Amino acid sequence: MAGGVKRFAVFGDPIAHSLSPRIHAAFSQQTNIPLRYSAIHAPAATFENQLADFDGAGANITLPLKSLVVPICAELSDFARRIGAVNTLSRRLDDHWRGDNTDGPGLIQDLVRRHNVNLYGRRVLMLGAGGAARAAAFALLETDIDSLVITNRTPDRAVALADALADPERVMTDTFADFRNEHAFDVVIDATSAGHTGGRHKLPLHLIAPTTVCYHLSYGKAAQHFIAFAREAGAKRVFDGLGMLVEQAAEAFNIWNGVRPETDAIYAELRAEAPLDATD
């Protein structure tokens, strides 16, 4: 704590372009809760030492550290334990770290509250089986979706995720080859990092109907290809993960400060700088 002001940070690699310091500064101003929040470049090899040297009250953890931080936590929320990934650390009174994961609730808040997507009875297709996909899948199963089909470049990881979800009535895996037998989904969620490396999916067009909602967890350039593809396929509504970023931050702010900030103003500000229409 510096001068009575609590300190927070986001650790990750790369981290230079993180929007988290700006989002938390906006929450601090709005709630009148003073804090300092910085971005700390933390490669996996040095992260544990950097965290040990950090004297803050809490931290966000991002790529590639979300699983690495799990064994450092003396206490985990049930959700973080099930996912095996932590994106929010809170320092407890006896100086140990508690780990939470706010990515899943952030996605649901953005889909349901901001975008008014009705998940009741929906057939959902999810691309990816990495850390963000795990958080999304566990959170989606806490809603009243009808079913979740998971597909991944490495099919074994999709099967492992389906096993971990332990809901065989609602969860299935498919390979791209199986898709010829599937009809259109109500919601398609891209939780891959393919957009960061220029990778492109060749999702069959018949999986997207004029009623389908498409959502990419990434935002900015990494979501561009999927957004263009979904629009071309005729999806009803297409979203990126900017709102999820803001909502997961609000969940973390609430864990640390006991107040959930209003998120629409900072979302509108960030969206104005990165309009979805500009991505196609």
Which residues are catalytic, by number?
66
* Interface with ligand NDP, residue 129, by CB under 6 A: yes
Nearer to ligand NDP, 74 or 151 (CB): 151
Which one of the spans 34-42, 71-79, 186-194, 227-235 is the region binding ligand NDP (CB under 6 A)? Answer: 186-194
One-letter amino acid of 3:
G
One symbol per residue from 32 to 51: x for binding ligand NDP (CB under 6 A), - otherwise; what is it? Answer: --------------------
Closest-CA residue to 42 (of 51, 53, 33): 51
Nearer to ligand NDP, 133 or 270 (CB): 133
DSSP β-bridge partners for residue 8: 37, 58
* Interface with ligand NDP, residue 154, by CB under 6 A: yes
Interface of this chain with ligand NDP, residues 197 to 236, rule: CB under 6 A: 197, 199, 217-218, 222
Nearer to ligand NDP, 73 or 244 (CB): 244
188: its two tokens: 């398609």
* Interface with ligand NDP, residue 73, by CB under 6 A: no
* Interface with ligand NDP, residue 241, by CB under 6 A: yes
Which one of the spans 118-126, 165-173, 224-232, 240-248 is the region binding ligand NDP (CB under 6 A)? Answer: 240-248
Nearer to ligand NDP, 121 or 203 (CB): 203
Number of residues that bind ligand NDP (CB under 6 A): 27
User: CA–CA separation, 93 vs 118, rounded Å?
Assistant: 40
Backbone angle region of 89, left / alpha / beta, with phi > 0 → left and psi within -120 to 50 → alpha: beta
* Interface with ligand NDP, residue 157, by CB under 6 A: yes
Phi then psi for residue 148, to 5 deg, are: -130, 120
* Interface with ligand NDP, residue 248, by CB under 6 A: yes
95: its two tokens: 């100086």
Using CB positions, name the residue nearest to ligand NDP.
Answer: 130
User: CA–CA separation, 255 vs 165, rounded Å?
Assistant: 25
Phi then psi for residue 85, to 5 deg, are: -150, 145
Nearer to ligand NDP, 145 or 159 (CB): 159
User: CA–CA separation, 48 vs 68, rounded Å?
Assistant: 9
Alpha-helical segments (H) within 89-232? 103-108, 131-141, 155-165, 221-232
Among 60, 192, 257, 263, binds ligand NDP (CB under 6 A): 192
Among 20, 88, 90, 152, binds ligand NDP (CB under 6 A): 152
* Interface with ligand NDP, residue 237, by CB under 6 A: no
Which one of the spans 139-147, 169-177, 181-189, 239-247 is the region binding ligand NDP (CB under 6 A)? Answer: 239-247
22: its two tokens: 């700006």
DSSP 112: I
Backbone angle region of 6, left / alpha / beta, with phi > 0 → left and psi within -120 to 50 → alpha: beta
The count of C-alpha atoms lying within 13 angstroms of the C-alpha of 248, restricted to the half-sphere facing its C-beta, is 26
DSSP β-bridge partners for residue 172: 149
Which one of the spans 151-159, 174-182, 203-211, 260-268 is the region binding ligand NDP (CB under 6 A)? Answer: 151-159
